[in-house]
């Protein structure tokens, strides 16, 4: 809480909107080491988790700066150390408390907010602690992890079409406004318009940076979403360090950057979350920005993965975009210069997205160097071994015309729970599993005199459920991910039927146990 507050109409908030400042920190000069130190550190016991918002660490990026050949110092403000895991905890808590001070909300009221997720999480966290109801509207493109966290915090979530323009009736902003009109005793937090969005960073985040850097800062690089973080920090830093360059970061497909010629095309889909918009929020003061850098998904996600792997910073995708832009901007700075950038949130929100190799591959985001490194690591792990090196037994197969009871007996005799299914010519058509046969028979969907063709799973080589071809020449390294989602695979050989058609003949069945056994035998 504030030690004291001051009423003000300064330009910390765009449009000189009335607001209050808070002296959140008391610092003194450490004359021995010539630096500022905090006189009131976080107490050993917090009154609530909301007291663990702010005072996030500023971390030097050693390995990435060196690898990129930077001569200057590169620092990252790790905002994911806030209680709710992102920089937005600061504004959610601040705006909510100011609304309480102004008597705009009371216990039992409903708080509504349109968000890309992080403000919603920060707000839902505060509402959970304070006892307010919470409704969050957010676009469908936002990660499922964010939705799961919101629901765990007790918030109701409403998804809206990603492609809806900000002023469309279907947008998350318009839906929030309709809910506010329909629900008595409700309030929209208003991160896009509230003066306390930038003021929270002017009073807090900027002070922390300046104190840590002893008022010596040459460049600030910040991503722009609502613009509150960028505006609030930049205004305070410009007051103390007038020569500091302010660099804004905006994804291609967003229209926040200036000059307007940078925003071509003016719209488009991008996967980095929590940054960029198709309108200019009231909380963004673009005049404070000296230079804009446009980013794209692939280098953003690649850099985020590097931050995790090389610096141990468990950050999100927009953090990668900010650091990539910071590296590019910092190339012009020499020794003795200092650059600070913001890491807005954590990898918690993106476990199934850029952290996942499969997702990155599906979107063609894996960096070529990273692909080669991973492939090299996998090959070294398996010593270049292929399926044929496993010396697998010949596959036990069954024809489609075989009675189901005979198939069950064959599986029992061999200790199998599935068998490859072939035609009379030996061509692979699918598999039959013990579990599926049992389910179909016990529920009466097939009778005991049914044929294997009636209960088999058919391979659909021309559909979205594409048959995964494994041959004796397939490297074992390529099967690691396959066995994360499959218990067995069928090794096949090709049979040319004519110029346009190819059939598959089953020769072996391979399991994860076969790979593990091979790996252990090589180590011994």
Residues that are catalytic: 88
Residue 121 and residue 319: Cα distance in Å, rounded?
18
Residue 385 and residue 477: Cα distance in Å, rounded?
8
The CA-CA-CA angle for residues 234, 122, 12, to 5°, reads 25
Spatial CA neighbour of 58 closest among 271, 197, 177, 214: 214
DSSP secondary structure of 396-452 = P-EETTSBHHHHHHHHHHHT-SEEEEE-TT--EEEEEEHHHHHHHHHTTSS-TT-BH
Spatial CA neighbour of 93 closest among 36, 48, 59, 136: 48
- Over its C-alpha atoms, the chain yields an Rg (Å, rounded) of 29
For residue 369, what are the β-bridge partners?
none
Residue 512 and residue 115: Cα distance in Å, rounded?
43
Q: Give every CB contact of residue 63 below 8 A, 6+ residues apart in sequence.
A: 310, 311
Paired tokens of 185: 């005793």
Say whether 65 sits in a helix, a strand or coil.
helix
Name the helix (H) or strand (E) containing 152.
helix 144-152
């Amino acid at each position: 809480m504030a030690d004291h507050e001051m009423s003000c109409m300064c330009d910390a908030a765009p449009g000189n909107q009335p607001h209050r400042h808070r002296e959140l920190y008391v610092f003194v000069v450490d004359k021995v080491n010539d630096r500022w130190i905090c006189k009131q550190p976080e107490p050993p016991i917090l009154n609530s988790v909301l007291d663990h918002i702010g005072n996030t660490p500023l971390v030097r990026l050693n390995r990435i700066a060196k690898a990129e050949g930077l001569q200057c110092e590169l620092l990252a403000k790790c905002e994911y150390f806030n209680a709710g895991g992102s920089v937005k905890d600061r504004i959610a808590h601040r705006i909510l408390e100011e609304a309480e001070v102004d008597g705009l909300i009371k216990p039992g009221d409903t708080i509504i907010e349109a968000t890309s997720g992080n403000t919603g999480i920060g707000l839902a966290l505060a509402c959970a602690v304070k006892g307010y109801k919470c409704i969050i509207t957010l676009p469908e493109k936002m990660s499922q992890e964010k939705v799961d966290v919101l629901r765990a915090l007790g918030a109701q979530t409403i998804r809206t079409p990603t492609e809806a323009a900000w002023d469309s009736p279907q947008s998350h902003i318009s839906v929030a406004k309709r809910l506010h009109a329909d629900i008595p005793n409700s309030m929209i937090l208003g991160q896009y318009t509230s003066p306390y969005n930038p003021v929270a960073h002017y009073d807090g985040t900027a002070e922390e940076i300046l104190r840590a850097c002893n008022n010596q800062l040459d460049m600030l690089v910040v991503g722009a979403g609502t613009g509150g973080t960028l505006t609030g920090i930049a205004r305070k830093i410009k007051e103390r360090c007038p020569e500091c360059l302010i660099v804004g970061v905006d994804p291609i497909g967003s229209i926040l950057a200036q000059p307007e010629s940078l925003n071509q095309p003016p719209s488009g889909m991008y996967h980095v979350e929590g940054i960029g918009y198709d309108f200019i929020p009231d909380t963004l003061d673009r005049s404070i920005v000296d230079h804009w850098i446009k980013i794209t998904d692939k280098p953003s996600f690649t850099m985020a993965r590097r931050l995790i792997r090389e610096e141990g910073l468990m950050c999100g995708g927009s953090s990668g975009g900010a650091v990539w832009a910071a590296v590019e901007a910092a190339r012009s700075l020499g020794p003795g210069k200092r650059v600070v950038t913001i890491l807005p949130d954590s990898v918690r929100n993106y476990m199934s997205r850029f952290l996942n190799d499969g997702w990155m591959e599906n979107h063609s985001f894996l960096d070529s160097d990273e692909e080669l490194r991973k492939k090299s690591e996998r090959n070294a792990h398996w010593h270049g071994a292929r399926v044929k090196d496993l010396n697998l037994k010949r596959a036990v197969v069954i024809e489609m015309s075989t009675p189901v009871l005979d198939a069950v007996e064959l599986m029992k005799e061999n200790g199998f729970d599935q068998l490859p299914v072939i035609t009379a010519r030996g061509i692979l058509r699918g598999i039959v599993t013990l579990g599926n046969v049992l389910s179909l028979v016990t529920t009466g969907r097939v009778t005991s005199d049914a044929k294997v063709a009636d209960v088999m799973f058919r391979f659909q080589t021309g559909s979205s459920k594409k048959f995964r071809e494994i041959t004796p020449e397939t490297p074992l390294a390529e099967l690691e991910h396959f066995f994360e989602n499959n218990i067995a695979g069928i090794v096949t050989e090709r049979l040319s039927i004519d110029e346009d058609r190819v059939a598959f003949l089953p020769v072996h069945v391979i399991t994860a146990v076969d790979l593990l056994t091979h790996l252990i035998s090589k180590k011994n």
